[in-house]
Amino acid sequence: AQSVTQPDIHITVSEGASLELRCNYSYGATPYLFWYVQSPGQGLQLLLKYFSGDTLVQGIKGFEAEFKRSQSSFNLRKPSVHWSDAAEYFCAVGRNRDDKIIFGKGTRLHILP
C-alpha cells in the first residue's frame, strides 16, 4: 500500500526567506502526488499536483514542487515566504486516477516577522 511521510511537524522561517517542505512517499510505480494547504478554520486547498511529465511542477501562490523518483520525494518550495503563508501543509499520494489519496500528517509552517 502507498504511504506518505512528512518528516517535519513544525517549520519556522522568517518572512522573505526561502522555504522547503519535505515529503517522501512509498509506492512502487509513479504515484499521483499532491500538496494541499490548510489555513486555520479553512478547508484544504490544492496548491499543485503531479501525475506525469515535467518533474518540476508550478502551483498557485508562488509554490513549486519537484518530483524525484530516485529519492521518492516530492518537496514543496517557495523562494520567498509571506506572513500569509503560515498554515498547515499536507502532502498526499494516490496510486492512480481512480484511487483514494493518502494524506501525510502535515507540516505546520510558522512565519517570523
Partner 1 sequence: EAGVAQSPRYKIIEKRQSVAFWCNPISGHATLYWYQQILGQGPKLLIQFQNNGVVDDSQLPKDRFSAERLKGVDSTLKIQPAKLEDSAVYLCASSLDRELAGGETQYFGPGTRLLVL
**Which residues of this chain interact with partner 1, rule CB under 8 A?**
32, 36, 41-46, 49, 90, 92, 94, 97-98, 100-101, 103-106
CB of 21 to partner 1, least distance (A): 13
The residue among 28 and 97 lying less far from partner 1, judged by its C-beta, is: 97
Q: In Å, how far from its chain's centre is CA 74?
A: 7
CB of 81 to partner 1, least distance (A): 22
Residues 86 and 40 sit within 8 Å (Cβ to Cβ):
no
∠ Cα 22 24 25 (to 5°): 150
